[in-house]
Structure 1
Amino acid sequence: MSALDGSIVIISLPAIFRGIGLDPLASENIGYLLWMIMGYRLVQAVAVTTLGRLGDMFGRVRIYNAGFAVFTVASILLSFDPFHASAAATWLIAWRVLQALGGSMLTGNSAAILTDAFPADRRGFALGLNQVAALAGQLTGLVLGGLLAAWDWRAVFWVNVPVGVFFTLWAYLKLRDSGERHPGRIDWWGNGTFAIGLSAVLVAITIGLQPHGGHTMGWTAPTTIALLVTGVVLLVSFVLIEKRVAEPMIELGLFKIRAFSAGNGAALCASLAQGGLQFILIIWLQGIWLPLHGYDYADTPLWAGIFMLPLTLGFFVSGPLTGAMSDRFGARGFSTVGMVLFGSSFVGLLFLPITFSYWAFALLIALNGVGTGMFAAPNTSSIMSSVPARYRGVASGMRATFQNSGTALSIGVFFSLMVVGLSANLPEAMSSGLQQQGVSAGVANDVANLPPVSSLFSAMLGVNPIDHLLAGTGTLDGLTAAQRDHLTGHSFFPDLLSGPFHDGLVVVFAASIALSICAAVASALRGRPPQKPVASSRD
Structure 2
Amino acid sequence: MSDKGDSSGSRADSADAGRFAPNQTLTLAAMLFAVSMTFIDQTIVAIAAPDIIDELGLSASGMQWVVNAYLLTLAAFFALGGRLSDLFGHRRIMVIGTLVFVIASALCGAVPTGGAAQAWLIAFRAVQGLGAALMFPAALAVVVAVFPVERRGRALALFFGLSGALTAVGPLLGGWLTDWTWRAIFWVNVPVAIIALVLTAKARIPRVTRREPLDVPGAVLVAAGMGLSVFGLQQASSWGWGSAATWLCIVGGLLVLVAFAAWELRTEHPLIKLAVFRDRAFTVDVVVLFFAMIAFVPVFFFASVYAQVSLSASPNQAALYLLYFFIGFAIASQWGGRILDRRGARPALKLGCAVGAIGFALWAHRMTTLSMHDQWPYAALAGAGIGFLLAPASTDAVNRAIDASYGEVTGVTQTVRNYAASVGLAVFGTVLTHITTDHVAATLRADGLSGGAAKSTAHSIAEAVTGHGDSRPPTGDGAVATATRHAMGSIRLDFAEANRAVFYGMAGSLAIAFICSYFHPGTRVTSESGPPQPQPPQSPPQAQPPGRTGGAAPV
Which bracket does the TM-score occupy, shorter chain normalised?
Answer: 0.7 to 0.9
Residue 438 of structure 1: aligned partner: none
The correspondence of residues 51-70 of structure 1 with structure 2, limited to 5 A, is 51-70=81-100
Which residue of the other structure, out of 515, 520, 533, is the alignment partner of 2:512?
515
Aligned residues of 1:258 and 1:527 also touching (Cα < 8 A): no
Could you list the per-position Cα deviations for residues 274-315 of structure 1 after superposition, in whole angstroms to 9, with x for gaps in the alignment?
A: 343334433443333x14xxx5xxx3x432222111112222
The correspondence of residues 121-520 of structure 1 with structure 2, limited to 5 A, is 123=153, 130=159, 133-174=162-203, 176=205, 183-209=211-237, 211-212=238-239, 217=240, 219-288=241-310, 290-291=311-312, 299=314, 301-319=315-333, 322-323=336-337, 326=340, 330-352=344-366, 354-355=368-369, 358-388=372-402, 391-432=405-446, 435=447, 441-442=448-449, 448-450=454-456, 454-456=460-462, 458-464=464-470, 467-468=471-472, 470-471=473-474, 492-497=490-495, 502=500, 504=501, 507-520=504-517
How far, CA to CA, are the matches of 2:116 and 2:481 in structure 1? 36
Q: Please state how far the C-alpha of 1:62 moved relative to its aligned partner.
A: 4.5
Could you list the per-position Cα deviations for residues 245-295 of structure 1 after superposition, in whole angstroms to 9, with x for gaps in the alignment?
A: 21111222111233432221111121124343334433443333x14xxx5
Which residue of the other structure, out of 24, 39, 42, is the alignment partner of 2:58?
24
Cα distance, 1:254–1:303 mapped onto 2, change above 3 Å = same
Q: Please state how far the C-alpha of 1:395 moved relative to its aligned partner.
A: 1.8
Aligned partner letter, 1:186: L
How far, CA to CA, are the matches of 2:439 and 2:120 in structure 1? 38
Residue 89 of structure 1: aligned partner: 118
- Between stretches 416-425 and 34-43, larger displacement belongs to 416-425
Q: Tell me, which stretches of 5 or more residues in structure 1 are unaligned? A: 436-440
TM-score (norm 1): 0.79
Q: In the alignment, does 2:56 pair up with 1:12?
A: no
Q: Please state how far the C-alpha of 1:429 moved relative to its aligned partner.
A: 2.5
How far, CA to CA, are the matches of 1:175 and 1:361 in structure 2? 50
Q: In the alignment, does 2:91 pair up with 1:77?
A: no
Which residue of the other structure, out of 514, 524, 531, is the alignment partner of 1:528?
524
Residue 3 of structure 2: aligned partner: none
Q: Please state how far the C-alpha of 1:201 moved relative to its aligned partner.
A: 1.2
Q: Please state how far the C-alpha of 1:376 moved relative to its aligned partner.
A: 1.8
Q: Give secondary structure in 1 for the equivalent of 2:199.
A: helix
Q: How many residues align?
A: 496
Q: Tell me, which stretches of 5 or more residues in structure 2 are unaligned? A: 1-36, 535-541, 543-555
Give % identity. 24
Q: Give secondary structure in 1 for the equivalent of 2:368.
A: coil
Aligned partner letter, 2:279: I
Aligned partner letter, 2:429: F
Residue 47 of structure 1: aligned partner: 77
Aligned residues of 1:314 and 1:368 also touching (Cα < 8 A): yes
Cα distance, 1:198–1:312 mapped onto 2, change above 3 Å = same
Aligned residues of 2:367 and 2:375 also touching (Cα < 8 A): no
Aligned residues of 1:204 and 1:224 also touching (Cα < 8 A): yes
Cα distance, 1:348–1:160 mapped onto 2, change above 3 Å = same
How far, CA to CA, are the matches of 1:357 and 1:31 in structure 2? 26
Could you list the per-position Cα deviations for residues 437-477 of structure 1 after superposition, in whole angstroms to 9, with x for gaps in the alignment?
A: xxxx45x977742375654554433344xx54x33667699
How far, CA to CA, are the matches of 2:69 and 2:82 in structure 1? 20
Cα distance, 1:387–1:365 mapped onto 2, change above 3 Å = same
How far, CA to CA, are the matches of 1:354 and 1:388 in structure 2? 49
Could you list the per-position Cα deviations for residues 126-181 of structure 1 after superposition, in whole angstroms to 9, with x for gaps in the alignment?
A: 66655553344334332322332332333222111101110122234338579x97
How far, CA to CA, are the matches of 1:534 and 1:473 in structure 2? 76
Q: Give secondary structure in 2 for the equivalent of 1:411.
A: helix
How far, CA to CA, are the matches of 1:59 and 1:332 in structure 2? 38
How far, CA to CA, are the matches of 1:115 and 1:266 in structure 2? 27
Residue 18 of structure 2: aligned partner: none
Aligned residues of 1:342 and 1:516 also touching (Cα < 8 A): no
How far, CA to CA, are the matches of 2:350 and 2:204 in structure 1? 34
Cα distance, 1:496–1:250 mapped onto 2, change above 3 Å = closer
Q: Give secondary structure in 1 for the equivalent of 2:456.
A: coil
How far, CA to CA, are the matches of 1:514 and 1:319 in structure 2? 19
Aligned residues of 1:283 and 1:456 also touching (Cα < 8 A): no
Cα distance, 1:532–1:62 mapped onto 2, change above 3 Å = farther
How far, CA to CA, are the matches of 2:78 and 2:457 in structure 1? 34
How far, CA to CA, are the matches of 1:340 and 1:119 in structure 2? 37
Aligned residues of 2:355 and 2:382 also touching (Cα < 8 A): yes
CA RMSD in angstroms, aligned pairs only:
3.8
Q: Please state how far the C-alpha of 1:526 moved relative to its aligned partner.
A: 5.5
Q: Please state how far the C-alpha of 1:403 moved relative to its aligned partner.
A: 0.6
Could you list the per-position Cα deviations for residues 98-125 of structure 1 after superposition, in whole angstroms to 9, with x for gaps in the alignment?
A: 21112123444556666775869995x7
